[in-house]
Amino acid sequence: MAALAPGTVANLGPGFDVLGLAIEGLGDVVIAEKSVEPGVRLTSIEGDDGRLPRETSANTAGIAAAAVLRLSGLDIGVELSLKKGLPLCSGLGSSASSAVAAAFAVNRLIGNPLRKSELIGPCLEAEERVSGRHADNVAPALLGGLVLVRSVDPPDLIRLPLPPDLTIVLATPDFELPTREARAVLPDTVPLTTMVSQSAQIASLVSACYSGDLSLLSRCLLDPVVTPVRAPLIPGADAAMQAALGAGALGSSISGAGPSIFALCRSERSAQAAAQVMVAAFQDAGLAASIHLSQVNCPGVRVVDPEATGFPR
């Protein structure tokens, strides 16, 4: 059983830890197979340059898979093969994608005893082990589209509609920013006026999603709390965001913990224009950057053909 979980853009501007968006064309694949030996074993990882832990208890794929078996009450053996399609420490939900793909694949392998919504718990358990207990990556990777996380404990996830034809640009510089480092700079407190502004931006974003008001959407992709303290950690980030806005993007901010920068655009043509100037901004800062374009209303985790994954059989 093989499953693909997409990469994600978390926070989406003002929605720190509460908003996440699935993207197409990037993601992790997990193949799950039954084995004689009880428990979960991670037998192979591709695409990580040997950097990820092979121990089940230290890898998000293994942690989520084991949690699915425990929650299902089954004492069987499962072997996992993980193929990383997402770069590490990129701000694109790499650890969450592995967890979601593994949880979904194992659940399908054992006959779907858990509903899709029930897989959020095992995925959260995995994320908590490596980057904190937040669902803004695992929720869209699981459900697809744009998801609002109203609550983590208990999980309460709301799929939001999206205006049609929007394209998101992802510019990923050749620079790693571990999530723990990005979280270490976050303020412990924020002024009341800042909290009010942040709340207004999130509320306006939800309204824009339901109304399809692109003018409103462009005015509320602002983050007065997290982006100002994280952007200095990423060479060229501020310049890339400003360049995207100058090229006509509706809004631009840091994807997740960074260093990837996203720009939300009205069309693919507008996205291409934003992509060019974002790459140039990172080049001016001494960094090469890769570009990925995606539609915004993308599916979440799904079954894929094992023969098309590139794994040796």
Q: Is 55 a catalytic residue?
A: no
Are β-strands 19-35 and 77-83 bridged in parallel, bridged antiparallel, or unpaired? Answer: antiparallel
Active site residue 127: yes
Question: Which one from 167, 179, 227, 309 is the annotated catalytic residue?
Answer: 179
Per-residue b/e over 64-94, b at no fewer than 16 CB within 10 Å? bbbbbbebbeeebebbbbbbbbbbebbbbbb
Among candidate residues 127, 172, 227, 309, the one labeled active-site is 127
**Residues noted as catalytic:** 127, 179
